[in-house]
């Protein structure tokens, strides 16, 4: 093949995107509670061993592009949009007003705000550092984000305490650090109780997000389960205001079954917000777009969420790969991520309606007849043939994933 001239490359990408077909319209995409983070679209491809590969993109462009694609909601860190030195100054209000304007113009809604407590040098020892001044500043930042959330019409605030931990063991006393962290959350909830009255809005749903490793070497709240324990530890003044924002990959990273982690959050009534992406077990936080690594597991996750009536946001917390261009971020990366999510969500509906799966599941729940409830051999044998249905169920879900339940056939 001849080299593809630079000025023909976008047209090629567009043509092949059209050839993929099966994309949803912006109107169809807007029916789902899908949010696009500012930081995901603005990610420039940088990492510890990686120089940026893309140019900066501001919030106006991000929101306008989301609107065109049909991503109805937008989420942001405070410092994604307001430079750290401008926080708490009149410049902050100017930015918030500019954001409000572009949200109004595009019809995109701000669903979630979060505070960056991990990047700036002030958080070198974390947001619950020994220094009272750092802790006071961190708490003020959380409260300020709650205020911005109300000003922008958000329903959720997310907290990712990835820098709550240590590099050097023995330097940090864990119980004390967790108490200090709880104080910051308490301040944010207290501020919310006042601000929500002032803005005449419902309080935000405050959601903790766990990640097992990065950026600290050891993390004090590494999993969603650890966070559930923390919420109910007695340290929080308003545990009813605090729930979870699990991230699919963050559970996979520590070797968990994400679906089981989500199930535990559901049982606790704390599954409020969900970061959707994909990646590999026991590896670092690669934030690959939803469904590109584990589509079968994703389908099963969405079956669980659909069957439990989860109605919270699906936040596209992935990083467009550094091989994708600035143009590709909005031409390919976001629309395809949204469309795979919708396809998997609708497919999950088919799983729940499938007659084979229904009959198999009901039969398993009925079990085999037993006359002597203490006779171990009889109980075992009564269910032996039925248990083959577990594997049959797995096969059927695979068939649904590849469309064979709709007569799609693969001939040799």
Binding site for ligand GLT (CB under 6 A): 39, 77, 114, 158, 160, 209, 247, 275, 285, 317
- Pick from 213, 203, 339: which is nearest to 276 by CA? 339
Q: Are 180 and 135 spatial neighbours (Cβ–Cβ below 8 Å)? A: yes
Closest to Mn ion by CB, 278 or 354 = 278
According to DSSP H, which parts of 26-118 are helical?
Answer: 26-30, 38-42, 59-69, 78-81, 90-106
285 binds Mn ion (CB under 5 A): yes
| Site for Mn ion contains 317 (CB under 5 A) | yes
Q: How far is the CB of 301 from Mn ion (least distance, A)?
A: 15
Q: For the CB of residue 126, give the shortest distance to ligand GLT in the complex, in Å.
A: 14
Interface characters, 294-313, with Mn ion (x: CB under 5 A): --------------------
Binding of Mn ion by 251 (CB under 5 A): no
Q: Which partner from the list ligand GLT, Mn ion, none does 396 bind, CB cut-off 5 to 8 Å by kind?
A: none
Q: Which is nearer to ligand GLT, 116 or 354 (CB)?
A: 116
* 278 vs 285, beta carbon nearer Mn ion: 285
Contacting residue, 287, 294, 340, 341, with Mn ion by CB under 5 A: 287
State which residue, 185 or 401, has the beta carbon closest to ligand GLT.
Answer: 185
Q: Do you know the residue count of the chain? A: 412
CA pair distance 174, 264, nearest whole angstrom: 25
DSSP 123-175: GTT-TT-S-HHHHHHHHHHHHHHHHHHHHHT-SEEEE--TTSEESSTTSS-HH
Candidate ranges 77-85, 171-179, 278-286, 352-360; the one touching Mn ion (CB under 5 A): 278-286
Among 80, 275, 339, 354, binds Mn ion (CB under 5 A): 275
CB 111 within 8 A of CB 156: yes
Residue 275 beta carbon to ligand GLT: minimum distance, rounded to whole angstroms? 5
Tokens coding 212: 């097992």
> Shortest gap between Cβ of 209 and ligand GLT (angstroms)?
5
Residue 39 or 230 having the CB closest to ligand GLT: 39
Consecutive H or E run containing 314: strand 314-315
- Identify which of residues 163 and 347 has a Cβ nearer to ligand GLT in the complex: 163
Please list the residues that pair with 74 across neighbouring strands.
36, 110
Which of 183, 225, 247, 278 touches Mn ion (CB under 5 A)? 247
Cβ-count burial 201-235 (b if 16+ within 10 Å, e if not): bebbbbbbbbbbbebbeebbbbbbbbbbebbeeeb
What is the binding site for Mn ion (CB under 5 A)? 247, 249, 275, 285, 287, 317
């Amino acid at each position: 093949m001849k080299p593809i001239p630079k000025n023909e490359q976008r047209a090629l990408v567009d043509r092949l995107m059209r050839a993929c077909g099966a994309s949803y319209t912006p109107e169809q995409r807007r029916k789902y509670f899908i949010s696009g983070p500012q930081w995901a679209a603005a990610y420039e491809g940088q990492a510890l061993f990686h120089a940026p590969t893309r140019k900066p993109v501001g919030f106006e462009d991000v929101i306008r592009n989301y609107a065109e694609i049909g991503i109805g909601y937008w989420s942001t860190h405070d410092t994604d949009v307001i430079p750290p030195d401008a926080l708490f100054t009149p410049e902050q209000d100017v930015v918030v007003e500019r954001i409000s304007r572009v949200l109004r113009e595009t019809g995109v809604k701000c669903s979630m705000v979060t505070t960056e407590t991990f990047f700036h040098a002030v958080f070198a020892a974390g947001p619950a550092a020994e220094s009272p001044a750092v802790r006071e500043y961190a708490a003020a930042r959380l409260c300020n984000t709650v205020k911005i959330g109300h000003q922008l019409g958000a329903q959720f605030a997310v907290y990712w305490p990835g820098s709550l931990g240590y590099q050097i063991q023995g330097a940090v006393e864990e119980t004390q650090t967790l108490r200090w962290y709880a104080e910051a959350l308490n301040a944010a909830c207290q501020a919310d109780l006042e601000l929500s009255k002032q803005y005449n809005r419902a309080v935000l749903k405050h959601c903790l997000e766990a990640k097992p490793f990065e950026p600290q070497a050891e993390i004090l709240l590494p999993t969603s389960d650890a966070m559930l324990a923390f919420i109910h530890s007695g340290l929080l003044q308003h545990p009813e205001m605090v729930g979870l924002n699990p991230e699919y990959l963050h559970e996979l990273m520590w070797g968990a079954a994400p679906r089981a982690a989500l199930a535990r959050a559901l049982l606790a009534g704390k599954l409020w917000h969900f970061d959707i992406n994909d990646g590999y077990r026991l590896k670092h936080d690669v934030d690959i777009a939803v469904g590109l690594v584990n589509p079968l597991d994703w389908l099963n996750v969405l079956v669980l969420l659909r069957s439990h009536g989860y109605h919270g946001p699906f936040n596209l917390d992935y990083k467009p790969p550094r091989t994708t261009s600035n143009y590709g971020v909005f031409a390919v990366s976001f629309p395809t991520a949204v469309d795979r999510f919708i396809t998997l969500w609708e497919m999950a509906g088919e799983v729940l309606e499938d007659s084979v799966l229904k009959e198999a599941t009901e039969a398993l729940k009925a079990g085999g007849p037993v006359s002597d409830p203490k006779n171990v051999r009889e109980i075992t044998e009564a269910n032996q043939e039925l248990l083959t249905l577990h594997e049959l169920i797995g096969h059927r879900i695979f068939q649904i994933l590849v469309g064979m339940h709709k007569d799609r056939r693969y001939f040799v």
